[in-house]
A = this chain, B = another copy of it.
Amino acid sequence: MTILDTMLAANAEFCAHPPADYTLEDLKKSKLPQKQVALITCMDTRLVNFLEPALGIGRGEAKVIKTAGNGITGVFDGTIRSLLVCIYELGVKEIIVIGHHECGMANTTSESLIKSMVERGISKEAIHMIKKELTEWADEFHHPEQNVIDTVERIRLNPLIPADVPIHGLIFHPRTGKVDVVMNGYT
């Protein structure tokens, strides 16, 4: 069975037999996050179905933004755009950047990515077009904790984000689920 068919079969089963704790109240959940918080975190597969429960975040409680290495790639990149919608339309009052130990981005380099791209037949022209940006992004990430500090600071300095929104930085362990505070946005 293909990946897509496996997923569709699982979905049919889910809809036919929703989880026992799924109630009528769940059906009516609002798109406004009850805890008025946005999480910015990583696409890492070990965080799936793990990070939110480990932080006590349930369905309907937080906005969750995820990219490779939970970073900001420009003053108006997808994460910043998402945050604008969170803050100005959805009642988000605090932002939490959550990096994690053992983040793959610490080992990824522009050189390793370009080597794989060439092997997969990506054109030299296309690679040339993004090489500078790719290098600045991929080669800048060395330490997940430092990356959290950098991301918090980039959001804090962004003139589109109100100064009264606390921005915290946490680091998460993708095996144990433990978090530690890197930056406390209240202070």
Chain B residues with CB under 8 A of A57:
7, 10, 48-49
Residues of B with C-beta under 8 A to A179: 7-8, 11
**How many residues on the A side are at the interface (Cβ–Cβ under 8 A)?**
106
| A14-B53, A122-B159 known; A133+B76 contact, CB < 8 A | yes
User: Given A48-B52, A55-B7, A162-B122, does the pair A67, B89 have CB atoms closer than 8 Å?
Assistant: no
| Cβ-neighbour of A49 out of B7, B18, B49, B78 (below 8 A) | B49
**Residues A78 and B76 in contact, CB atoms below 8 Å apart:** no
Q: Which residues of the partner chain B approach A73 to less than 8 Å between Cβ atoms? A: 77-78, 81
Whether the Cβ atoms of B184 and A4 lie closer than 8 Å is yes
Q: Which residues of B contact A112 (CB under 8 A)?
A: 88-89
Q: Would you call B27 and A175 a contact (CB within 8 A)?
A: yes
Q: Which residue of B lies closest to A34 (CB)?
A: B45
Contact check, B50 vs A68: say whether CB atoms are below 8 A apart: no
Find A126's partner among B43, B123, B126, B160 (CB 8 Å cutoff).
B160
Q: A8-B181, A64-B66 are in contact. List 18 more A-B contacts (CB 8 A).
A: A4-B96, A7-B57, A7-B179, A10-B57, A11-B178, A13-B56, A14-B53, A14-B54, A14-B55, A31-B45, A45-B60, A48-B59, A68-B81, A76-B134, A77-B78, A81-B134, A89-B108, A129-B159
